[in-house]
Amino acid sequence: MVGEPVVEHTELSGRVALVTGAGQGIGEAVVRALVARGARVAALDAVPDGIGELAAEYGPERVTAHTADVSDAADVEAVVEEVETSVGPLGILVNVAGVLHSSPVVALTDEMWDRTFAVNTTGVFVASRAVARRMAARGAGCVVTVGSNAAGVPRTGMAAYAASKAAATMFTKCLGLELGRSGVRCNVVSPGSTDTAMQRALWTDDEAPARVIDGDPGTYRVGIPLGRIAEPSDIADAVAFLVSDRARHITMHDLYVDGGATLRA
């Protein structure tokens, strides 16, 4: 239904955000969280359906839909230019777009590897470069990359995904170091298992969620100490905090939102 969203508070009022991978899962939740805090959001996705529904629900004054492949630099640059011209100067970028090809390394194809890095790593680079250049010139802005706790803990069957997320994480930290004096902050949110279509695609039977929570010794994976799988909104709330002024002195940080699953010290 078309209509104005219910705004919880206005800490992001007047700010324009670009969210990649916005059509479903964590990306959709991030769009909703930012709109609820007063931001105008440009929702970008390679598939038009989800972002079109968001734009219809909230209306063009809150959400605009933009279809592009994040690995295509020309397409992303065109979207960024369009948003800056028609919506306003971007103050927030959230890199969410991602793909997962689960496979043992010895069975991993060149195509799986290349596509994983094209979206999960090159996509972060392409979008961040286009937006950060403009933010730095204005002396303000926030970039948040949604990574993964798999970037810091080895996972069986997830080598390409984990490596691509590790690269995106370090890229984002390096970007934050370079842009710190310009007033642009760059941080990472690293989810653990989250109830999304990507997560559910890994489940092979009804007991799979319980194994995620309890752990699986056969794959050298510990469970989740908090005893629950995250909802997309849990990740989105962490993103919303990092792009707000409440996090104004936080940059180059990697915030794990995984219920303690990685046992990080």
Q: pLDDT class for 215, splitting at 50, 70, 90?
A: confident
- Residue % of the chain over a pLDDT of 70: 96
pLDDT in tens, 36-63: 999 999 999 999 999 999 999 999 999 9
Spell out the CATH class of 16-196+231-257: alpha beta
pLDDT at 264 over 70: yes
φ, ψ at 85 (rounded to 5°): -80, -45
Q: How far is CA 52 from CA 1, 66, 93, 246, in A?
A: 12, 8, 19, 31
What value does the mean pLDDT take over residues 58-78? 98
| Residue spans per domain, the chain | 16-196+231-257
DSSP state of 258: S
pLDDT of residue 1 exceeding 50, the answer is: no
Helical residues (DSSP H) of 180-246, grouped into ranges: 197-200, 208-214, 232-243
pLDDT on residue 84: 98
pLDDT at 136: 98
Catalytic residues: 161
- 40-45/16-20 β-pairing: parallel
Cα 261 to Cα 212: distance, rounded to the nearest angstrom: 10
Q: Are 68 and 76 in contact (CB under 8 A)?
A: yes
**pLDDT value of residue 210:** 74
